[in-house]
Amino acid sequence: MKHIAVYPGTFDPVTNGHIDLVERSLRIFGEVIVAVAENPKKAPLFPLEERIAMLQAVTANYKNVAIEGFDGLLVDYVRKKSAVAIIRGLRAVSDFEYEMQMALMNRRLDSNIETVFLMPNVEYSFITSTIVKEAASYGGDVSSLAPRVVVEKLKKKFGK
């Protein structure tokens, strides 16, 4: 039986750290659904459709990866997809508090769904979408931190 995992996030935009996590997840699970949250509270730089399109472009050559948008409660979405686990990345201790809260809340909402934390390659341990956007907005070179399609989109967005 194929075990399905959902890797949720805002992905505004997808970084090399996210891709590293997708690859690690594929070593454990038969299928990985990257679930892109609309997340209006975070006022994303890229609209949902663009975030999905960028992820689709960078995962086009991966087998057993699907990209979807979702809204509402994550556990409801995970159940709907018959997935068994939620994947989250843990980069540093600073991620831990928020991630633990979220994992335990999700467990309270549905005790059958496990959260699996994966550590990205140390090379990506400092990357966040926020820091990539910040650097790009001032014309910084982010080509080693995000896929090419994302770097181009950021250049266009910030006119740099």
- First and final CA of the chain: distance in angstroms? 48
Cβ density class 98-122: b for 16+ within 10 Å, e for less: ebeeebeebeeeeeebebbebebee
Half-sphere exposure of 136 (CA within 13 A, CB side): 27
Task: Specify the residue, 1 or 92, whose C-beta has the smaller distance to ligand PNS.
Answer: 92
- Cα separation of 32 and 60, whole Å? 13
Q: Which residue is nearest to ligand PNS (CB)?
A: 9
Site residues (CB under 6 A) for ligand PNS, limited to 71-110: 73-74, 102, 105-106
Closest approach of ligand PNS to the CB of residue 1, in Å: 25
Nearest of 75, 50, 49, 72 to residue 150 by alpha carbon: 50
Closest approach of ligand PNS to the CB of residue 39, in Å: 6
Q: Does 8 bind ligand PNS (CB under 6 A)?
A: yes
Site residues (CB under 6 A) for ligand PNS, limited to 119-158: none
Is 80 marked active-site? no
Applying CB under 6 A, the site for ligand PNS has a residue count of 10
Q: Residue 6 corresponds to which tokens in the numbers above?
A: 């959902």
Stretch that binds ligand PNS, among 6-14, 20-28, 53-61, 146-154 (CB under 6 A): 6-14
Residue among 23, 26, 31, 39 that touches ligand PNS (CB under 6 A)? 39
Q: Which residues pair with 5 in a beta bridge?
A: 32, 85
Q: Which amino acid is at 140?
A: G
Is 156 marked active-site? no
Active site residues: 18, 42, 91, 129
Binding site for ligand PNS (CB under 6 A): 8-10, 37, 39, 73-74, 102, 105-106
